[in-house]
Amino acid sequence: MLKLNKKQQKILEIFLKKDQLSSSQVHSELTILKEEGSLVTIKRALSEMARLNLLKTSGGGRSTVYSLKTLGRILTGVNTKEYCAIEPDKRFGQKQYNFDLFSDFPDEIFSNNELENLKSATAQYKQRIKKISKTIQKKELERLVVELSWKSSKIEGNTYSLLDTEKLLLENKVASNKTKDETQMILNHKAAFDFVHKNAKQFKTLNRKNMEELHAILVKNLGVDFGLRKKPVGVIGSIYQPLDNIYQIAEAVEGLCKTIAQTKTPYDKAFLALIGLSYIQPFEDGNKRTSRLMANAILLAHGLAPLSYRSIDEDEYREALLVFYEINAIEPFKKIFVEQYIFSAENYSVK
């Protein structure tokens, strides 16, 4: 994973808000931000960032201008709270789908330190699950399914409490003050996790077939059409407008699948499935649910700990996704993924 210095990050942040800039204009912007550096130093930095594929150049000589490339967007550090506090129509993010996004993704998504933390959590997890009895395994699986079904549904606005979810899934007791759709959503989560848990081998990577199978389970009896959507969808509170052409959606899914297949680690694959399906929005509803269960399916297929998302802050999750939708920056969501994986690896014993 390419490590950027402070000045490079500042320059990328400037380009998020501007279209094209010359080296002197970048120097002026940095001066306003009280960042030290001569024009010669800035020119050298811009040339290096162009070499690293973070920026592209147009023109030549004194007419050279720079603009942001997709990799630059991906690696830009963004304060999610500050960005999301801006009214949607006043934000500086992208409104349209970025067709270069997945083809330009770096081969290594996690830093060496992040990868070490993930691997360390996995090693401890695997050591622990060797020692547990079948009885404990069953109870641990039930606990994970309850907490995953509750939290993933809560992210979607479901009002079932954790206790109500437990009663529904373990005792078949329907909460009296909830809608049929809320109850069905919870039940569908359990069915989806049971499916990926029993059929883990077919989820080594994402493909259209297993994606559509998983989606169909998650939206069963919720009045949602199966298969790729044929109508446009919007994202509440965002300027981002997903693709509205079924042929382009199919191509986008294929591109995401190809990128995931080429990534180096299961963590990369799960992370890309999690953010990628949410970004493409291939279905008329249930996209984020499908992305969360698909990430788990990939983790389970590689013998890793599945995510429950139990400790996640729903607002932080939504804001990090919004930043990815509009800016394509992955750092905020990477932080969430690493934290949630370590939490799950430390708190569950699911084989």
CATH number for 43? 1.10.10.10
Q: Are 58 and 135 members of one domain?
A: no
Where the chain has pLDDT below 50, the residues are none
In a domain, 175, yes or no: yes
Q: Are residues 150 and 258 in the same domain?
A: yes
Give the span between the Cα atoms of 324 and 274, in whole angstroms: 11
Tell whether 244 and 126 lie within a shared domain: yes
pTM: 0.94
Q: Do 128 and 48 sit in the same domain of this protein?
A: no
Of 15, 33, 68, the one marking the end of a domain is 68
Residue found under tokens 């963590």: 267
Q: Are residues 177 and 64 in the same domain?
A: no
State residue 63's pLDDT score: 84
Query: Tokens representing 327?
Result: 């800016």
**What does the pLDDT read at residue 229?**
96
Residues spanned by the domain of 221 = 112-347
Q: Identify whether residues 62 and 142 lie together within a single domain.
A: no
| Placement of tokens 């770096």 in the chain | 106
Distance from C-alpha of 304 to C-alpha of 234, rounded to nearest angstrom: 34
89 HSE (CA, 13 A, CB side):
0
The token pair at 209 is 């077939």
Question: Do 151 and 45 share a structural domain?
Answer: no
In a domain, 146, yes or no: yes
Is-contact 103 286, C-beta < 8 A?
Answer: no
Domain presence at residue 73: no
Same domain, 326 and 189: yes
190 near 222, Cβ under 8 Å?
no
Q: How many domains does the chain have?
A: 2
138: annotated binding-site residue?
no
238 is an annotated ligand-binding site residue? no
Contact indicator for 306, 52 with CB cutoff of 8 Å: no
CA–CA separation, 256 and 252 (whole Å): 6
In a domain, 226, yes or no: yes
Q: Is 128 annotated as a binding residue?
A: no
Do residues 191 and 300 both lie within one domain?
Answer: yes
Determine the straight-line distance between the first and last CA of the chain, rounded to whole angstroms.
30
The answer to whether 292 is annotated as binding is yes
**Is 64 in the same domain as 152?**
no
To 10 degrees, what angle do helices 266-280 and 246-262 make?
170
Q: Is 287 annotated as belonging to a binding site?
A: yes
Predicted local distance difference test score (pLDDT) of residue 218: 98
Domain C-terminal end among 35, 68, 101: 68
Q: Could you tell me the CATH number of the domain that includes residue 270?
A: 1.10.3290.10
Q: Does the residue 306 lie in any domain? A: yes
Report pLDDT for 81: 94
- CA-to-CA distance for 197 and 149, rounded, in angstroms? 14
Question: What is residue 348's predicted lDDT score, i.e. its pLDDT?
Answer: 94
Model confidence pLDDT, tens digit, residues 240-283? 999 999 999 999 999 999 999 999 899 999 999 999 999 999 99
Domain-located, residue 126: yes
Same structural domain for residues 52 and 196?
Answer: no
Count of other CB atoms within 10 angstroms of residue 315: 12
Residue 87 lies in a domain: no
User: Would you say 229 is a known binding-site residue?
Assistant: no
Q: Would you state the structure tokens that stand for residue 99, as one six-digit string? A: 């067709």
| Per-residue confidence (pLDDT) for residue 132, from 0 to 100 | 87
